[in-house]
Structure 1
Amino acid sequence: MKKGAIFDMDGLLFDTERIYRDIWSSPCPFVEKINPQVAEAVCGTSGAHLIEILFSYYPGVQAQAYVDWALDSVDALLQKEVPQMPGCEEILSFLKGNNVKIAVASSSRKELIERNLQITGLRDYFDVIVSGQEVVYGKPEPDIFLLAAQKLGLPPFDCYVFEDGINGARAGIAAGCATVMIPDLTQPTAELKQRCTGIYPSLLAAVQAMEQGKL
């Protein structure tokens, strides 16, 4: 078993990826006509990479203002309730019980990560929190996972990365972590099926694999 575990948040720990998809697919003050491909393209990204994606679909858009609007809209919807994904607490409890250091590395704002963890009562499981705001290049670049491993005091190869998205899984692999994909809205590509350490239908299935020494 690895000594560290780094978790994405939206679509993995919490059933919130659909909220982001809905927001990016909704009419907004910055774009006359929404491109339906944008929601998937920006999934799991942040920072300069997110801005680049928006410019590629909407040349000349006020990209940072658009990002701020989208994140504020998500914030407003998550003020009171944050639904957990099946197996969320079980895997965190299992890892903590086996003295594995735990981090969350999410493209979301740090204050939103903290609030979600507090609302759900999961904050004490995590030794480290890393936000996409802390790196220049978001997923699929490896920066956020490299920073999380550094803050855990561990080499990347001794850390699991748990991800639901394609960009995130690619980032975990690029960082040199043992990358485990738990697909939510997006299914793994043929490339990821070959390169991921494991792909499981749920966090519960991943826990079972760890208990059996298969992960």
Structure 2
Amino acid sequence: MNYTGAIFDMDGVLFDTERIYQETWHELAEERRIELGRGFLKAITGTNGERMRRVVEEYYQVPDGLTVMEECMNRMKRKLSEHVPIKDGVCEILHFFREQGVRMAVASSSLPGQIEANLQRAGIRDYFNAVVSGTEVESGKPAPDIFLRAAERIGCRPEECFVFEDSENGVRAGHAAGCITVMVPDLIEPSEAIQPYCAWICRDFFEVQLLFTTRCEL
């Protein structure tokens, strides 16, 4: 299996931030005396823009979800202002890819400023040749736009890029882009329906690196 590029989602993949997002969403719900349904986690993960707004409006029972979204993002910015928790094996896989000459990108639904701040604060910004935000493309995940843009930015063909995702929306987007899509689950276990879209499903990046050293070629 030949590859030249690696594209990473951010929240829940590079950083253990999905848990903090969920805590924040629930804080906002409790303040409004709303109980979020069990489907909220799956519905909101991997979304942004109009799709996220529709989810927020449905679960928070508000006519315009933008106010709730902005408050969530502001609280997250404060919470991550001092420390961004890195997921297990991330530093090792980034070093491995750089040693192999693989070009890397981040493709995240988050705002550009938050992506850059998190990468800088975690000390891993220099590993990446490009950063693409969901605000830069017409359609968010599960549409393939963000991964196609990321592959273009790092000068690689999509079919020669690995995509690393934790959400089903992200996995579908990577698959639709024609990339080799690997799911590294975070808060949500992969459903049977999503498994055909995944080249591999790995518990962490230590397992990912093991598979690369035994199955893949540059």
Shorter-normalised TM-score: what interval? Answer: over 0.9
CA contact 1:161–1:172 (8 Å) conserved in 2: yes
CA distance in 2, matches of 1:29, 1:133: 29
CA contact 1:49–1:137 (8 Å) conserved in 2: no
Written as runs of structure 1 = structure 2, the 5 A alignment for 1:9-158 is 9-27=10-28, 32-36=33-37, 37-58=39-60, 60-158=62-160
- 1:132–1:30 CA distance, 2 compared to 1 (3 A): farther
Does 2:210 match 1:192?
no
Q: TM-score, normalised by structure 2?
A: 0.91
CA contact 1:13–1:84 (8 Å) conserved in 2: yes
CA contact 1:47–1:135 (8 Å) conserved in 2: no
SS of match in other structure, 2:97: helix
CA contact 1:3–1:100 (8 Å) conserved in 2: yes
* Aligned-residue RMSD, C-alpha: 1.9
Shift of 1:137: 2.2
2:174 alignment partner in structure 1: 172
Shift of 1:32: 5.0
CA contact 1:30–1:66 (8 Å) conserved in 2: no
* Number of positions where the alignment pairs a residue of Structure 1 with one of Structure 2: 215
Q: Which amino acid aligns with 1:16?
A: T
Consecutive unaligned residues of structure 2, counting only runs of 5 or more, are none
Consecutive unaligned residues of structure 1, counting only runs of 5 or more, are none
Identity %: 41
CA contact 2:28–2:72 (8 Å) conserved in 1: no
Question: Where has structure 1 moved over 6 Å in runs of 4 or more?
Answer: none
Shift of 1:195: 2.2
Q: TM-score, normalised by structure 1?
A: 0.93
